[in-house]
Structure 1
């Protein structure tokens, strides 16, 4: 059992910086795979491919059908669920292969990100390259990733017996957990960047920056509900919705809480309001920083974040007006991830880098 001291007296700063750089590059690679995973998941949802694989085989499922008989077996299993009976009855085997490959690719990426995270984590941990404070953070991310796999199957299972699609509740949960993992990975990586302590900025600006991270996550959750209900395929006008700024029928369901999750009018309206709130808070944050610290990298970061939010809003409006074409819908989903990443980078930058701790790392 060896002891590696990560402190200014016993470990050269260059050694700590070198290890931090390696860990940071690895985490950025993980985040890149997560970005691709979420986009492929979005394409799987938009092409109605998510229920094409009706069994959860974490190990054996890596291997796709390799013979005509295996393809027919998978197709026969798909024919037993309501989606085939009510939406795709008469689909050809070639048509089934198209949706199967989307879902298989999504699951393969999900398995792949597990290996991309777990194997380097084991290497960095066992070789003593992780500072003590990083270990619980990274172990928590690993556990959250394992939970996400179970949530993914829980989501798929909701569409295999009585529904023709997955539950919007479970879809939004699955998407949001993926984005929490993505944001947390970037947060930790950003904290390992060797930068001087941030210049003095108002506490209100820091709070707003952190609030913007949570607002971006909330907006992604609301977008998941919209996708799950296909709410973007109706009320395709802007700024009016159903002919009004505040349409009638927002609370037509009983009990009232159901409207926020099951009423397509309300869900789309709340998603629009979430976008307006995100836009407003990012603008207020920009003004606050430019007044308090004009010309600093923090103020410039706030400006970049505002521009990204503005661009995402424009993509969202265009996607709605064009009735959710696949390319624009995926661009909008990618934009949500970019907004989230920009908010995370900016907020974490306002807090400065992780300090070098004077604590022994025992391996």
Structure 2
């Protein structure tokens, strides 16, 4: 063990958690492509163990196809689809679920081994246990989401999609955070409350924007109003308020408008945050992490506009969803660095309290 490192750390545990985060990132991207290809309802049953085995012969494929033909998506959207076309959407959904199973094993088995070997820092054991529980819950929520499109809808409910993606991103951020804790060891010093609160608000705003994006994806709001900066030539597009509060979840115009407007506010806030962090010369690395966060926000915004104006082609839509995870990664690392920075490294005076 390196004597210059804190005792309460484990680089091997950190690498394991970062690997799990990479798998979650892959699941988010594959999940986005699954949604864009309309593949999410191609598997109409939830079999956590037996479902790992795909159809192996013509009879199995015929059975799976017949089950798909019984749901509204086939009868109302894909009537007449060939078996080969069905296989194309089936494999995307199967890959998404298979990645989830692989992730469960990659997390649970090493977790048990590390516990037996007493390699996990004691303060991180309960955090890893919570992440394991959230992963199991994610499987249930995934089926809860899929089940919403098997009887009365031709797609999944947007709010359920938002919950599913939101939990995936929460697990992703948790893995990164706990991994950083395991890598660096315990640090008892804390940054001034103002900056810590500001970094937390930035993280929360990024996460909320991801949820708003999920509603756009779930309601297919990116397929309409593909001009920018206006929406069909207007600032405020018409919304169907007859839906009541559900308009904020299901109305395509309102859902897209909310995602756009919140993005503008987030860009302004992120830019101001980065400028202030850099100008006040915060602890080493903090100014840079704030700038990286702001830069990722701008890149994601530009990508979002390009994706919208091209009516969300699969490759751009998948890239935009991957970009959301990258922005959340930047916000998570920034918050972690701010919370662990020693107060003496901040400039003195009232303005060091900052945000």
Per the normalisation by structure 1, the TM-score is: 0.89
Counterpart in the other structure of 2:195: 205
Please state how far the C-alpha of 1:248 moved relative to its aligned partner. 4.3
Q: Distance in 1 between matches of 2:214 and 2:189?
A: 37
Q: Distance in 2 between matches of 1:217 and 1:234?
A: 24
**Aligned 8 A contact 1:198 1:351 in 2:** no
Counterpart in the other structure of 1:336: 324
Counterpart in the other structure of 2:28: 38
Distance 1:258 1:137, change over 3 A: same
Match of 1:98 among 88, 100, 104: 88
Indicate whether 1:224 and 2:224 are aligned.
no
Superposed, 1:51-70 pairs within 5 Å as 51-70=41-60
Indicate whether 1:249 and 2:238 are aligned.
yes
**1:211-232 deviations in Å (ceiling 9; x for gaps):** 1211111111111111111000
Match of 1:80 among 70, 74, 92: 70
Q: Distance in 2 between matches of 1:308 and 1:30?
A: 22
Match of 1:173 among 163, 168, 180: 163
- Unaligned segments of structure 2, at least 5 residues: 342-355
**Aligned 8 A contact 2:274 2:291 in 1:** yes
Distance 1:250 1:162, change over 3 A: closer
My pick for the range that moved more, 181-190 or 287-296, is 287-296
Please state how far the C-alpha of 1:249 moved relative to its aligned partner. 2.6
**1:29-87 deviations in Å (ceiling 9; x for gaps):** 00000000111111110000011111111111111111111110100111111111011
- Structure 1 moving runs of 4+ over 3 Å: 11-19, 195-203
Q: Distance in 2 between matches of 1:336 and 1:31?
A: 14
Q: Give the secondary structure class of the aligned counterpart of 2:290.
A: helix
Please state how far the C-alpha of 1:14 moved relative to its aligned partner. 7.1
**Aligned 8 A contact 1:190 1:349 in 2:** no
Counterpart in the other structure of 1:8: none
Indicate whether 1:291 and 2:275 are aligned.
no
Superposed, 1:130-279 pairs within 5 Å as 130-194=120-184, 202-245=192-235, 247-250=236-239, 252-255=241-244, 257-279=245-267
Match of 1:310 among 298, 302, 312: 298
**Aligned 8 A contact 1:198 1:350 in 2:** no
For CA contacts below 8 A with separation 6 or more, give which structure has more relative contact order.
1
Per the normalisation by structure 2, the TM-score is: 0.91
- Unaligned segments of structure 1, at least 5 residues: 1-10, 354-363
**Aligned 8 A contact 2:28 2:168 in 1:** yes
Counterpart in the other structure of 1:360: none
**Aligned 8 A contact 1:24 1:189 in 2:** yes
Q: Distance in 2 between matches of 1:200 and 1:125?
A: 29
**1:255-294 deviations in Å (ceiling 9; x for gaps):** 2x22211111110000111211221121121122123226
